[in-house]
Structure 1
Amino acid sequence: MLEKQCYINKELFLQRPKPLDIPTFISLFSGLTEKADSKPFHDDFAVLEIDPSVKPVGVARFGFTSVLLCLSGSLDSIVGQHQFTIKAHDIAIIPAEHINALSGFSTDFKAKLIVFRSDFLRKGFLNTAILDELLYINPDYPPIFELDTDNFEANLYKFDKILEEHNKTNPFFLDMIRLYLVQILFDYNRVCEICLLNSTTNMNRQFQIVHKFRKLIDRHFATLKTVKEYADLLHITPKYLSECTKQQLGYSAIDLIHQRILLESEFLLRYSELTIKEISIFLNFDTISHFGRFFKAQKNQTPSEYRQIR
């Protein structure tokens, strides 16, 4: 019976929705805009502004990389195993293919956003090895950094120059856009390296345990549902794992497990053609009613209600 269940899940995994492309991503937002005099969006690149009227996209997977420079306000974000708040002067990158959720936009939230497919940069003159290095975002750390005033102003200038080049379409404008974008990626990687070199957080045993716990959840959320199962993998007691999670993150270990299951549930309900029963099987709930009770406890609405308003 177990083998059959695993087989069904593999079949359902193949039916997971494809990552969003750039035109679809843009169409999901009511508050994503280019300047009034700007040129149309491209399929592999767009430079955008986010204002307070933006409609949250919810849970998604992007088929492109996003680079966000926050000007004001705040935004709650989940990218892979990481949960964080983006605020003014922060720069954040959402790597392609990572499941993510953007929500909790403050009323004064404003940001510059560049979205691009890797193919867009590959059409330039950088060799593949350098480009792969630039686009690699270490999954062990949240993909966000706070910029000091000088670095923030320098990056804002590059974002604005990209928009200017995009609008004027002078000779070599796409190459100029790629140059500015590569500079932004180099800046991000430089800040990343400096922060990691100066960080002592990874010396903390509790941090290391929680970090491993989150990676395990991201890998096994569909099959492991209890704190004890993860504690056994980490060779510690459930009580100690719960203490570490509470100390490092401020909420319980079971909340972290449920959060990841819910994230995948929302993603599948929003974008897949799987039935609710198939989703419950994919996530290894023993019955569809069990899945329904879990989802309603987390979201205060049934899976059917959530799917109707997606």
Structure 2
Amino acid sequence: MSLLSLMKPDAVNITQIINKKTLKHRRDDFAVCWIKNEVKGIEINDVLYKNVSNSIFFIDPKYRWKILKNSNTSSSGYILYLAKEVLNSPVLSNLHINKVRLFNSGEIPLFKLSPGIEKRTLAILEMIDELLGSQLNHKDDAILSLLNTFFVYCDGQCNIKSIASNNNSKSNIVYKFKQLVDQYIFEHHEVADYAKLLNISPKYLNECVKEVLAVSSKNIIIEQLLMRSRHALKFSDKTIKEISFELGFSSPDYFSYFFKTHTGITPSALRKK
């Protein structure tokens, strides 16, 4: 039986941001707003947020919101509406989306997309949109799988789990740490490098990351390196030597050793898949 078959037919809905004013869809829906192009802003509970191009907002149903744009001649992104039961489905509930305060934060979570993720974000949302309008067998399971991919990918690229909270200094440190890893991963591979940038000790940085994310600081760095490595190996024509130096490794041999240690296969083997 499909994982969405017991839910209401429009439990997942996706629309493009085309009209001059895009309003909240339904009272109880969670909303993921991906604002691609320049708009006047997004108004949430009568507060206007400007300069929001290339950003993703995760908005709890308790908020009133609307997106304002200059014209209705072209799309400025997508809005993904999700009923509560979708987030509570077994596939997505394991991500602890609510527990990491994506949708129930005291502040409005906004995430700037990292370079290169825009096309992949668009591809996932377009596939969800296409599936919603189809009659394919098991389409609901496929939609949930794509939603899972979307949230997991954003977690790596958009600092989802590290939303800053004024009430939790450790969360703030983790938020800044993940931002720095995203920014300096090509230069710095050691926890001590990031601790120095944050003006704290490596021990305290690791304590913060362990408490907030339940993984080590080194794990965050390794995962980011592996994500960048896989993408470069799969989607670029650069040589393994070029990729290794671009990612900040001292030699192609060390890059291959690192990659095989954490994935079980060599960079050249991944390329042949």
Task: Provide the TM-score with structure 1 as the length reference.
Answer: 0.44
Task: Provide the TM-score with structure 2 as the length reference.
Answer: 0.49
